[in-house]
A = this chain, B = another copy of it.
Amino acid sequence: MATLSDVARRAMVSKMTVSRVINHPEQVSPELRQLVYNSMKALNYVPNYVAQALVHHRTQVIKLLILEEMDTTEPYYMNLLAGIAVELDQRHYSLQLVTRSSHTICRCDGLIVTGMREDDYESIISRLEQPVILFGENMKGYDYVDVDNKKGMKITTEHVMAQGCSNILFYGIDIEEPFMLSRIAGYEETMKGKKLLPQINLMKNSSHIAQFEAEKVLKKISERVAFVCASDRLGIGVVHAAQRLGMAIPDQVMITGFDGVFLDRIAQPKLTTVRQPIVEMGKTCAKLLLDKIDQDGRSQGICVYKPELVIRNTTVH
């Protein structure tokens, strides 16, 4: 594999000239510049990123710290990772995947953190020395990327209302984290705006729990009802409940999910859901983080994505 010296020798210039052509081409005369370009092409030169990293006191490694139990959200993260990977590759960074138990010594240039809970801000996140971007909204002032959770829940609630249903239940996850509070607020405000009574039900993010809860409700209900769920997993559970009781979807029971990343397509009938552009969001996390690193840790602000309602057969024919 050709090095800078090889390129220099072939172009009959010094290593520095080659280095400049790569990093500050405007500082080199057009003639030499062209000579160097030719030489690089001829030798198929690719910089040694390890050597660059050494001089720059960098590692070219960023870590993805997943603080959540991974099997709770599995399919979700693969997309996030795919997005992150695209951006990192382009900029010659690589990735380390770490969890709560393995984030001790931190040889990396920056971190993307996700799945954090209230306690983690003080005990983990505030102690990190490298630039950080959080994946997931937070109210502690950290840079983050997320979807507009409140709006997402607002548009689903309005959607089922528009189908002529006013008995609308909310199924959410029983954790007091910003993303969930926002989803609850989106539902609650929309209901109150229409003078309807919010009915909020929080539970573990499990399709079986949701099914169990929904069956109890459905057994003693006669009128048309809608379940707006804060995750596709919960949504699928409610679908199962309605099916077990032989109730018609969407005529008797309407169901919506949230995430739109995988499970929504497995459900039968396919789930109406709020799609989050996770891959895109992953790319943005990485982009913001790398920019932050380049800018010596300067805050990059927040990036909130517009949620997209994907209407399918659990709410319309």
User: Which A residues contact B (CB, under 8 angstroms)?
Assistant: 46, 48-51, 53-54, 58-61, 70-71, 74-75, 77-79, 81-82, 85-86, 88-89, 92, 94-98, 102, 105, 107, 207-208, 211, 233, 236-237, 240, 243-244, 262-263, 266, 268
CA distance A88 to B95 in the complex (A): 10
Contacts A89-B102, A243-B243; is A97 near B82 (CB within 8 Å)? Answer: yes
- Copies of this chain present in the complex amount to 2
Contact of A207 among B70, B237, B266 (CB under 8 A): B266
Contacts A46-B107, A50-B54, A50-B59; is A75 near B262 (CB within 8 Å)? Answer: yes
B94 and A96 contacting across the interface, CB-CB below 8 Å:
yes
CA distance A54 to B54 in the complex (A): 8
Residue on B nearest A101 in the bound complex, by CB: B86
Chain B residues closer than 8 Å to A75, beta-carbon distance: 74-75, 78, 262
CA distance A81 to B172 in the complex (A): 29
A70 and B59 contacting across the interface, CB-CB below 8 Å:
no
Chain B residues closer than 8 Å to A82, beta-carbon distance: 70, 97
